[in-house]
Amino acid sequence: MSIISLPRTTTRPATRPASRPASRTKTTGARAARHVRTTQKWALGSVQRRSLVVVIAALAIALGGSMLQANRQIELHNLQSQLLQDQSAYAEQVGSLSNLSAPSQIASNAGALHLVSPTVVIQVPSTSLDAPLPLPKFLGYAPATSRTTR
Q: DSSP assignment, residue 114? A: T
More confident residue, 2 or 67: 67
Based on C-alpha coordinates, what's the Rg of the chain?
A: 58
Cβ-contact 107, 116 below 8 angstroms: yes
Average pLDDT over residues 21-27: 57
Q: Is the dihedral of CA 66, 68, 71, 77 positive or negative?
A: negative
Confidence (pLDDT) at 125:
78
Cβ-contact 110, 101 below 8 angstroms: no
Cβ-contact 139, 133 below 8 angstroms: no
Confidence (pLDDT) at 59:
96
Confidence (pLDDT) at 29:
58
Confidence (pLDDT) at 89:
94
- Out of 3-12, 89-98, 106-115, least confident range: 3-12
Condensed to tens digits (0 to 9), the pLDDT of residues 41-76 reads 655 568 888 899 999 999 999 999 999 999 999 999
Confidence (pLDDT) at 63:
96
Most confident of 8-17, 78-87, 125-134, 135-144: 78-87
Check pLDDT > 70 for residue 87: yes
Condensed to tens digits (0 to 9), the pLDDT of residues 94-142 reads 888 888 888 888 888 888 888 888 778 788 778 788 888 888 777 777 6
Question: How far is Cα 98 from Cα 104, in angstroms, rounded to an integer?
Answer: 12
Residue among 51, 74, 48, 75 nearest 59 (CA): 51
DSSP code per residue over 7-51: PPP-SPPPPPPTTSPPPSSPPPHHHHHHHHHHHHHHHHHHHHHHH
Check pLDDT > 80 for residue 12: no
Question: How far is Cα 148 from Cα 132, in angstroms, rounded to an integer?
Answer: 30
Confidence (pLDDT) at 90:
95
Question: How far is Cα 13 from Cα 134, in angstroms, rounded to an integer?
Answer: 156
